[in-house]
Amino acid sequence: MSSRSVSKTAVTVKRRQSEIVILRDRVRELKLECARLRAENRKLAAEKASAECQIEQLQAEVARLTAELEATERASKRQAAPFSKGPPKENPRRPGRKPGKAYGTKAHRKPPAPDEIDEHYEAPLPNRCPHCQGPVKHEEVKQQFQVELPRRPIYRQFEIHIGRCQWCGTRIQGRHSLQTSDALGAAAAQLGPQAQSAIVWLNKRAGLSHGKIVDVFRELFGIPLTRGGSAQVVLRAGRRCRPAYADILETVRHSPWLVNDETGWKVGGRPAWLHVMVGDQATCFTIARKRKVSVQAGLIGAGYSGTIVHDGYSSYNCQFPKATHQQCVRHLMRRVQKLLETARGVAKRFPQEVLELLQQSLGLRDQFRAGHITQDDLAECYLGLFCHLDTLVRRHRPNTANRTLAKHIRKHIREWFWFLLDPLIDATNYRAEQGLRFGVTNRKIWGGNRTDSGSDAQAILMSVIETADRERKNPLDVLREILQNKAPPSKQAG
């Protein structure tokens, strides 16, 4: 072999040896990279498992909070019993009055006046002691009083005198003050004004259905009555109370302030709305097929220029452009508190500041009512609160919920603190919500009205009863007087 071939072979061997060394280093690097990737894979798998576990926990938490939110929203819409408020407390407070000095006023039933006593009874002593059979000596006489329900109905007979005018021939019929109708013949047997007033009150105020009213009259008083008869009494009372309803509506129209609200209703099984307008002296109800505030505007006039306290329903601002509007502060506080329950981090700051401003305004109102600050102090505080709130809502809010809240507040920026300038104005629409309360109770019991005439009677009678309560009058007496009021006689020429 030539020297040239040997040198060429040696070069080839050296080149291959260097390639082997390079390959070995590469294999070593790949093994290290593979080990690193396996470790990273194990780490990522652990992180994935942890993330999946955390996702499951968060999903469970979201489901729990969603259920609580739905339950809270349902509970907030329940304005009357019976509804469960959750399980009873484990350690409730002891029922009854507190012992000792904190017992409170010791109330008792007052005895009747001497002229109010209808019956007298004697409770004589026995001749002998019931324990030892010894003689009994009389010492003194003391009185005990009792008030009882009159179970026996009163039956009246009216001798109706009928005559005719000798000049024009008009038929004339006498009328006693206890009569509620001039009907004779088949309709001559009627219920008295007290009984009719009781039917109306039991149905519209107590919320009893006509079937239960029949049971009450039969079991308590022995008066026969049918469901149809009870319903007819209510409809007739609604027609007779229409002039009183017109007077109530006129009083509401001239009220310096109104507190309005509405709630769902049913007429003939179809959706309707019960509207309420609370004035300074009277309360007026109406039932319509739509929720629009144009129903209220049609009754009191779109040109009403007083102050209207209402919730955030924007239709009030559109239908009453000349009125001063006071938004319900409590509605906004509930909305802010609901937002705080779900907000996180810095997103809580804005609703918390709004809530503090609202609470501060209510605190100022309470201080004024207690006589700690003057009307001028309230006016100065109003300006400061207004400027602070206006500054808050004009800042940019990256959070979507906060932007929506700020937009709503900014839209009604001049309608949140009017109650600080006029002490007669309420900060909330609680008067309207209280006015709707017994209507909502009726709705929960028997659902609403079946006919339009029934809904008209419902609104009229609720207005009369609620206004009578506000005037500190007995609604039964007011209804009785209206039912006994004689309508103009119909002319029947012969």
Identify the CA nearest to 240 among candidates 204, 298, 200.
200
Q: What gap in Å lies between CA 242 and CA 381, rounded to an integer?
A: 46
Largest CA distance in the chain: 170
φ, ψ dihedrals at 132, nearest 5°: -120, 0
CB 62 within 8 A of CB 342: no
Cβ proximity of 446 and 80 under 8 Å:
no
pLDDT of 470: 92
Report the amino acid identity of residue 323.
Answer: A
Give the three-state DSSP class for 158. Answer: coil
DSSP code, position 221: I
pLDDT (tens digit per residue) in 53-73: 889 889 888 888 888 888 777
Whole-number pLDDT of residue 472 = 93
Residue 277: predicted pLDDT: 94
* The pLDDT value given to residue 490: 37
The pLDDT assigned to 97 comes to 67
How much is the pLDDT for 397? Answer: 84
Cα 185-190-196 angle, rounded to 5 deg: 150
H runs (alpha helix) in 162-209: 193-204
Please list the rounded mean pLDDT of every run of 10 residues in the chain (494 residues).
Answer: 68 79 85 90 90 89 86 64 62 74 70 86 87 88 84 85 88 86 81 93 91 93 91 94 95 94 90 93 92 86 90 85 92 92 88 93 91 88 91 88 92 91 89 90 84 94 95 94 68 34
pLDDT at 102: 66
Cβ atoms of residues 297 and 319 within 8 Å: yes
Question: Packing angle between helix 400-411 and helix 375-394, nearest 10 degrees?
Answer: 140
The CA-atom distances, in angstroms, between 276 and each of 261, 283, 284 are 6, 7, 6
R_g of the chain, CA atoms, integer Å: 40
Cβ atoms of residues 214 and 230 within 8 Å: yes
Predicted confidence at residue 494, as pLDDT, reads 31
What is the C-alpha separation between 265 and 448, in angstroms, rounded?
Answer: 6
Stated pTM of the model: 0.73
* Cα gap 336→148, rounded to integer Å: 53
Residue with tokens 């300038």: 421
Residue 260: helix, strand or coil by DSSP?
A: strand
